[in-house]
């Protein structure tokens, strides 16, 4: 149980385009989902927290107009990187928190490369 999926696993796009990443909790309902960014050989940096049906809460320094987050249902959250630039290239990981547990379960991550 407690499986979280992400799609796509890898994406390459041209500078200036937008990219959408999906995060799904497959076998549980997630009232809260989190989006992280991870640079090579570093720890995870929390970007934002999204609660189903409400606006996401962004961490300091994260541009909410650039990283659009939607949490439309209890099993799906999306992160859209708008007008992507090479500096947005990174590994993006989502996590979902089961409403009955004090535990975050992580997706497999999405590798984004902006050319």
Partner 1 sequence: AQSVTQLDSQVPVFEEAPVELRCNYSSSVSVYLFWYVQYPNQGLQLLLKYLSGSTLVKGINGFEAEFNKSQTSFHLRKPSVHISDTAEYFCAVSQVGGNEKLTFGTGTRLTIIP
Here's the x/- map for partner 1, 7-36, by CB under 8 A: it reads as -------------------------x-x--
16 versus 46: smaller Cβ distance to partner 1: 46
Residue 82 within binding range of partner 1, rule CB under 8 A: no
DSSP designation for 114: E
Residue 95 within binding range of partner 1, rule CB under 8 A: yes
3-class DSSP state of 56: coil
**Cα–Cα distance measured from residue 42 to residue 5, given in angstroms and rounded to the nearest whole number:** 22
DSSP designation for 66: T
Q: List residues near partner 1 by CB under 8 A.
A: 2, 4, 6, 32, 34, 42-44, 46, 49, 91, 93, 95, 97, 102-109, 111
């Amino acid at each position: 149980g407690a499986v979280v999926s992400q799609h796509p696993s890898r994406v390459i796009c041209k500078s200036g385009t937008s990219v959408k990443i999906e995060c799904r909790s497959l076998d549980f309902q997630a009232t809260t989902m989190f989006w992280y960014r991870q640079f090579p050989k570093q720890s995870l940096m929390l970007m934002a927290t999204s609660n189903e049906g409400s606006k996401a809460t962004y961490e300091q320094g994260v541009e909410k107009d650039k990283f659009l987050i939607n949490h439309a249902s209890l099993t799906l959250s999306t992160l859209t990187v708008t007008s992507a630039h090479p500096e947005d290239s990174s590994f993006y990981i989502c996590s979902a928190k089961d409403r009955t547990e004090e535990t975050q379960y992580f997706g497999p991550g999405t590798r984004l490369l902006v050319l």
